[in-house]
Chains A and B, each alone.
Chain A
């Protein structure tokens, strides 16, 4: 989607991966660029199991915003009718829904480069590419630390938080239980929890 037209180049260039070694002239909104971007959006939508009305990222979705910006009013290359992947709910805080993934790999780069955990990686090639874990295990069985940064980076709602009512409903309504809150969905929280004093770091506890 980051295609731009560089003066003197025959093809369009991906601006996120184009090294600048000399002064260049870049056009970002020519007809050629907009046409190519529109086709890329159409191609992405042809593999995106998007049920926008029931999606929790409705109105907060980069793909939706792009489709609106480029005037997508029909599915040029079709649309998946049945979800091809199962939703991974094995983790206690992260839900992985690969039906919505568009393989932007932001979660992979976040997990490897920023968090240095390395749970997620792109596996396979061509149209069989998926974002997978070690041996394609469910997220609850790998070394994921549930930091949730992949959720923050995901533009389309591939991964999301476990919904609050199912996880927090009982503790919040029971007066006997102390409440604790995750900060930025991080496990490095400070324990106000069950058997710790307030402010105790409970990572790895």
Chain B
């Protein structure tokens, strides 16, 4: 039987359409024609602007499952990445499901829609993750300055009694992953989403209530809680 789509001896150009890859890989076999996108050294993909948008999820016809639900999950994952709330574990799940979409979808839309995401993460992983980590940190600081009564001067707790909260983990984490924070010199493990006590009031009150009653029984900490 003739092997019509054999990849032996040559690269399948069509299957790599839409890939992002660095300039130094330009001369590799299979990259000489087709709709590839090149990234020069002066541009970087880390801001997430090159990630797939809503178009694939909208264009899917909905007949085969990998394309119908997979595109939606991919889009959700991209949004989580942009917000800095996607864990590295879930990123791995997204990559594997993207590879499944490439082989299990019926038509070319589902087969090619994860290509951009997969190739960006494959070729620009460090650049990509570094920017997103920085962004999540920036978001955290922004939230901190908005929600921290100590920072904006509305907290009436004396400076000497204020808790010092230091987030020791800067990794991208899921809401359920635990990170260690130091409160008044006492190390407490809290979920990543609540790693600082400068959070929206509803979340903060939930966490602080439980923290004061279980592990973190610091009076200064509790005083600052209730003064808000």
Contact = CB atoms under 8 A, between A and B. Distances in A.
B61 A126 contact: yes
- Interface size band for B: 20 to 34
A14 B5 CA distance: 17
B72 interface: yes
B70 interface: yes
B68 A14 contact: no
Contacts of B70: 39, 43
Contact of A127 (B1, B5, B72, B100): B72
Nearest to A43: B69
Contacts of B57: 126-127
B4 interface: yes
Given A44-B65, A126-B68, A8 B1 contact: yes
Contacts of A127: 57, 60, 62, 68-69, 71-72
Contact of B4 (A8, A46, A122): A8
Interface in A120-169: 122, 124-129
B66 A43 contact: yes
A109 interface: no
Contacts of B12: 10
B15 interface: yes
B154 interface: no
Interface of B: 1-7, 12, 15, 57-62, 64-66, 68-73, 93, 96-97, 100, 102-106, 111
21 contacts: A1-B65, A7-B1, A8-B1, A8-B2, A10-B5, A10-B15, A11-B103, A36-B100, A39-B97, A40-B100, A43-B66, A43-B73, A46-B69, A46-B73, A103-B62, A103-B65, A126-B59, A126-B60, A126-B68, A126-B72, A127-B71
